[in-house]
Amino acid sequence: MKTSPLKKTEGKRSAEGERLAEIVARVGHLLPDQGPLQVFIHHNTAHAFQHLEFHDAVVEAAKLYRAEPYLSEARFRTEYASGRINDEDLAAALETLKDRLPAEPPRLPLPLTRIRMAMLGRPIVERRGAALRFALDEEGAIERFQPWVDETSRTKAIETSLPWLREHGEYSAKAVKDPEWAVVDALWRHTLHLITQMPVVRPIKEDRPARLSDYLLAATGADADRQMNGLLIPLTAAYFDFGMANWELPNRERGFFNATKALFSAGPLPPVSWLASLHKAWRHIDASGLSAGDIALEVLRDFGVTEEHWEAFMSADLLALKGWSGMVSRLERMPTDRPKGSPPASLMDFVAVRLVIERAALRDIADRAGFRGVELSTLSRQLHAEEQATSPNPAERAFVLFQVFQALGLGLGDISAYSSTEATALCKAVSQFDELWRRRVYQEAYEHHHRVQIVDAVRGNLQEQTRCQQPTPKLQFICCFDEREESLRRHLEEIDPAYETIGAAGFFALPISYKGIDDYSFSTFCPVILTPQRTILEEVLPEHRYTHTKRTRARRRLGRLLYWGYRGSRSLFAGLLWTVFGLFSMLPMASRILIPRTAARWRRQLHRLVVPAPQTKLAAFHEAQPEEVHPHENELPKGFEFTEAARRLGLLFNDTGYVREEQFAPLIVVLGHGATSVNNPLLSAYNCGACGGHHGEASARLFAAMGNHPTVRGLLRKQGITIPETTRFVGGMHDTTNCAITLSDVGDLPASHHSLLREGKESLDRARMMSAHERCRRFLLASPRITPAKALRHVEDRSDNLAEPRPEYGHCTNAIAIVGRRSISRNLFLDRRAFLISYDPFNDPTGEILERLSIPVCVVGGGISLEYYFSCVDNETYGSGTKLPHNIIGLFGVMNGHLSDLRTGLTRQMVEIHEPVRLLVIIESTPEILVGITERKPIVKEFVRNRWIQLICINPHDGSVTQFTGSGFVPYSHAAPPVATVPDSRSWYEGHREHLAPVRVAAGSWPRIADKTLMPQGGQHG
């Protein structure tokens, strides 16, 4: 009997512990889901709210993270003023949101749309407190009409008001002299009078208690978070460190909680009172032998957080340090993100350590503020009870209404004529259409403008293209569908109508684990949603083995020297030696700061001299029997078998719709892409996302090697994909930062292809130069009249310049994804804004291929666009703010300055020219197929139904365009003028800095069909 209460509490404790563990896991899902810097992959920042409709989700997310849901109203107004949003867009947006906007109050005296349009078009602002007083007293808001009120409204308002003033005996001498003053003054008084008669809506005080540290901060000015972060952040960083610190945190392998416990319970107590009590607490924990979960429960009890508030408290507490908590949570869920041998990650451990430190810090602050002896739970309750919710006062509410009256051009005569019900309805209509609603409408309008522009252009282009006939392809380029390749592809196709570019995911359907000759470990070359199937090694040709040995030896020696320099110069005694001779560092410093491009060239030349480069090939094939394929359970087989290689290649050819002999050119260049820059912690975000944030060269090279193999060709033929005997593939790599293009294994090409290769190289050189030129229009440091050759030098300089916080703009301009034949987007200037995925609807009658493509397009493309959206609308909360004070910590993240929360999301430099619109996905398919796919793929359904992307469907059979609205596909109807034509891209973009509208480019367009009979849409398939 005696043991039963103990057992009971044990049982209770474990049940409680389980519930807490569940809650912590749930809260972990709300935290930023960004991995270590090396594996930076774009994703939807508000992934925890993906199950909600977009507009609801951004608002909910904004509440939770204390962020902005949309761009500011002021920014939208600037866009309205510049014409980026016009009245037509606003009307369309109001129409789109019709069912969601607050219902029209009964007996409204004016049309609701008129009120709303008036509120949108004018800079109506809510002013509170001192700002309102300033407007009233200093800015003359109650003496003159607002400066934005146009002349007609002003005259109308005065005219309708004067009779009323006379009637009410307010037409004084001053009013005769200055009628505007009299009218505005009376209008303000009348509005105030109206408002005071309206029922006041009291805001509801939130039931959930905030964190005690917030109360203490408000009451005493002492920041408990700062105090505890000063200890928790270095500790967490040292625990997860990937190899930056000289002295690793001891006992890392035992977990965060245990390692911390061991640290704090050793040795004498520190001479600082709060730290001493913290150490004592840890000693107590060590003696009690309780687990992390038990300790977390204990602290929650001490804080007086009852079980129903656990979730709210935990989310508030972890979101107060969301970067670090998110990193722990992410590392726990994705252990492969870390190098081998890293310590275990557990969010529960982190929670327990954080709560214990938090308790000590709060106790210290409470003691110092005079609450000595008062339990934290009591204090928390007391301070919560004292907090009061505030509601706007009548003048604040009246000021908005006052401005609306002015915007509508209403005079006192009109207003006083309203019955009290009408006036109430009017007030209600105004107050319901609050700032949040206005921004929501603006957002829809902003997207509408862009959508209409693009869809009209694509439709117009399609009509043009059907009148043309494709010549036999001479050269083909398979690129990543990345929007940064759009300009390169366009400029290539402008050179010759017989050039064709194909867009596919940059890993070219080859999920591999790759190790180059210089790498010491394998890297994953595939999108995060896939797992690598095979390992591929870069092998040195037998005759170059000696060079390779020399290379390895030279690299080792150089590495040892540099490593000694790196660590030594930062250490005490070796540092003495390094720093005494430190004046020698002036040489590299001067050259790399003053002449970065030349210095980089020198360095590369020197490197080539010291470290020779052997010739290599990829070990693409596994020539053993199929049963030997799996040597070990958890080790991937090396290389592809021929059947698998053919299957993988077949996937890509089928996806892109290239299956018939006449579709293939004699030379096909496969280009992976990547970025090169220095001084840039977020480098992997600029690389190929489809290659797991690496350079895509290996994938392209592997694809070419496999495509050239006769056995693979034979197997492909059996699948119905006939590649002509004469066709050869060449792999290569396009550097999106410095616009360099390198081709690999060109020595393997037969002599018959040499002239074609030469032509291809020349064309690539020209196209990359023009692409660099087009990119330079965005860089304010490049002259708007820069020549193409200088532009190339400019981008090379960016790539090598240590001082450059924006080596390239990355995905900054992304806004569109077009899935369909290249012919529908060919010759269309899309301003590097479109992901272009090659897909042939006629090769896919059932939609099976499109289903496969739907994930990369909607989820990966949509994820990129949404990460940019969130980082752009609230750069400080969702993004990581300006890059300049960033400091790399533990080789996995960045923080601001010497100590701060981990910064997640994109930097301000990465999003500064971004237009936050949801990705506009244009798919060449039928609505039925698309509906079918969303039914089968829940994740795609989530993105489409909840409108995280805008979906447009172009029916390939009849060219009709439909648009997905919340309920389903509706015909897209927008009367548009035919798309404009310019001679070439350069003549359209040169001298412009801003986003440009799409136009049709004449250069490189296909010849018109001679006879006037129009080819049916799918004509080429006969």
Is 683 a binding residue for another protein by CB under 8 A? The answer is yes
Q: Which of residues 867-886 bind another protein (CB under 8 A)?
A: 882-886
Q: Which is nearer to another protein, 65 or 188 (CB)?
A: 65
At 617, give phi and psi (nearest 5°).
-140, 165
Contacting range for another protein; rule: CB under 8 A; set: 451-459, 627-635, 706-714, 887-895 = 887-895
Within 515-668, residue ranges assigned H as helices are: 545-568, 573-580, 586-594, 596-610, 642-656
Least Å from the CB of residue 518 to another protein: 5
In terms of CB distance, is 169 or 221 closer to another protein?
221
Q: Which of 131, 541, 610, 803 binds another protein (CB under 8 A)?
A: 803
Stretch of 44-52, 387-395, 414-422, 516-524 contacting another protein, by CB under 8 A: 516-524
Q: Out of 482, 486, 804, 867, point to the residue binding another protein (CB under 8 A).
A: 804
CB atoms within 10 A of CB 732: 26
User: Segment 522-561, which members bind another protein (CB under 8 A)?
Assistant: 552, 555-556, 558-560
Binding mask 695-734 for another protein (x = CB under 8 A): ----------------------------------------
Q: Does 231 bind another protein (CB under 8 A)?
A: yes
Which of 11, 335, 588, 966 binds another protein (CB under 8 A)? It is 588
Q: At what angle do helices 4-30 and 310-319 cross, to 10 degrees?
A: 50
Q: Which of residues 780-799 bind another protein (CB under 8 A)?
A: 780-781
Quick check: helix, strand or coil at residue 834? strand
Interface pattern 470-489 for another protein (x via CB under 8 A): --------------------
Determine which residue in the list 520, 627, 662, 1013 makes contact with another protein, applying CB under 8 A: 520
CA dist 355 and 352 (Å) reads 5
Given candidates 83, 169, 268, 1022, which one binds another protein under the rule CB under 8 A?
A: 268
Which of 237, 407, 645, 690 binds another protein (CB under 8 A)? It is 237
Among residue numbers 590 through 609, which ones bind another protein (CB under 8 A)?
590, 593-594
**Is the CB of 529 or the CB of 781 nearer to another protein?**
781
Q: How far is the CB of 339 from another protein (least distance, A)?
A: 7
Rank residues 596 and 760 by Cβ distance to another protein and give the closer one.
596
Nearer to another protein, 83 or 267 (CB): 267
Taking CB under 8 A as the criterion, which residues in 898-927 touch another protein? 898-900, 909, 912
For another protein, the closer CB: 409 or 692: 692
CB atoms under 10 Å from CB of 711, counted, come to: 14
Return the HEC string of 240-303: HCCCCCCCCCCCHHHCHHHHHHHHHCCCCCCCCHHHHHHHHHHHHHHHHCCCHHHHHHHHHHHH
**What is the spatial distance between Cα 759 and Cα 528, in angstroms, rounded to a whole number?**
37
Distances (CA, A) of 710 to 473, 578, 643, 714, 730: 22, 58, 12, 6, 15
Which one of 11, 111, 163, 243 is in contact with another protein (CB under 8 A)? Answer: 243
Which of 258, 469, 569, 960 binds another protein (CB under 8 A)? It is: 569
Helix (H) or strand (E) holding 514: strand 512-515
Task: Describe the crossing of helices 310-319 and 292-303 by its angle, rounded to 10 degrees.
Answer: 100
Nearer to another protein, 675 or 723 (CB): 675
Name the residue nearer to another protein (CB basis): 46 or 889: 889
**Could you say which residues in the range 350-369 bind another protein, by CB under 8 A?**
369
Q: Is 574 helix (H, G, I), strand (E, B) or coil?
A: helix
Q: Which of 172, 176, 420, 563 binds another protein (CB under 8 A)?
A: 563
Contact 997, 457 (CB under 8 A): yes
Instruction: State which residue, 139 or 386, has the beta carbon closest to another protein.
Output: 386
Nearer to another protein, 590 or 1002 (CB): 590
Q: Considering the complex, what minimum distance in angstroms separates the CB of residue 17 from another protein? A: 17
Residues 245-264 touching another protein, rule: CB under 8 A, are 245-250, 262-264
Out of 580, 751, 975, 1010, the only residue in the binding site for another protein (CB under 8 A) is 580
Q: How many residues make contact with another protein (CB under 8 A)?
A: 109
- Give the contacts of 68 (CB within 8 A, at least 6 positions apart): 62, 873, 874, 877
The residues that bridge with 121 in the sheet, in sequence order, are: none
Using the rule CB under 8 A, give the single segment among 133-141, 214-222, 407-415, 965-973 that binds another protein.
214-222
Q: Which is nearer to another protein, 263 or 530 (CB)?
A: 263
Largest CA distance in the chain: 107
Q: Tell which one of 81, 589, 789, 970 touches another protein (CB under 8 A).
A: 589
Question: By CB under 8 A, is residue 204 in contact with another protein?
Answer: no
The span of 376-384, 445-453, 482-490, 525-533 binding another protein (CB under 8 A) equals 376-384
Interface with another protein, residue 889, by CB under 8 A = yes
Tokens (6 digits) for 919: 């990705």
Where b means 16+ CB within 10 Å and e means fewer, 431-457 reads bebeeebbbbbbbbbbbbbbbbbbbbb
Distance CA 604, CA 974 (A): 55
Which is nearest to 671 in space by CA: 857, 506, 860? 506
Residues 811-870 contacting another protein, CB under 8 A: none
Q: How far is the CB of 887 from another protein (least distance, A)?
A: 4
Footprint (CB under 8 A) of another protein, residues 37-56: 37-38
Under rule CB under 8 A, which residues in 4-23 are in contact with another protein? 5, 8-9
Q: Cα(194)–Cα(404) distance, rounded to whole angstroms?
A: 14
Whichever of 232 and 488 has its CB closer to another protein, that residue is: 232
66 binds another protein (CB under 8 A): no
Q: HEC states along 237-253?
A: HHHHCCCCCCCCCCCHH
| Binding residue (CB under 8 A) for another protein from 111, 270, 968, 1019 | 270
Residue 238 engages another protein in binding (rule: CB under 8 A): yes
Closest C-alpha to 830, from 483, 500, 497 = 483
Residue that has been written with the tokens 């987007």 in this structure: 825
Contact set for another protein, span 927-946 (CB under 8 A): none
Cβ proximity to another protein, 204 vs 385, nearer residue: 385
Token pair belonging to 659: 């299956």
User: Which residues make Cβ contacts (< 8 Å) with residue 178, sequence separation at least 6?
Assistant: none
Interaction of residue 344 with another protein, rule CB under 8 A = no
Q: How far is the CB of 639 from another protein (least distance, A)?
A: 23
Distance from C-alpha of 922 to C-alpha of 818, rounded to nearest angstrom:
5
- Kindly give the interhelix angle for 347-368 and 212-220, rounded to the nearest 10 degrees: 30
- Residue 949 CA to residue 137 CA, distance in Å, equals 47
Looking at residue 475, its amino acid is L
Binds another protein (CB under 8 A): choice among 802, 970, 976, 1014? 802
Site string for another protein, 386-425 (x = CB under 8 A): x---------------------------------------
Place of tokens 């309102």: 132
| In the complex, least distance from residue 126 CB atom to another protein, rounded to whole angstroms | 22
Amino acid at 654: N
Are 870 and 876 in contact, with CB atoms under 8 Å apart? Answer: no
Q: Sign of the CA dihedral 483, 485, 490, 493?
A: negative
- By C-alpha distance, which of 954, 833, 956, 919 is closest to 455? 954
**Least gap, CB of 479 to another protein (angstroms):** 26
Tokens of 693: 């944030």
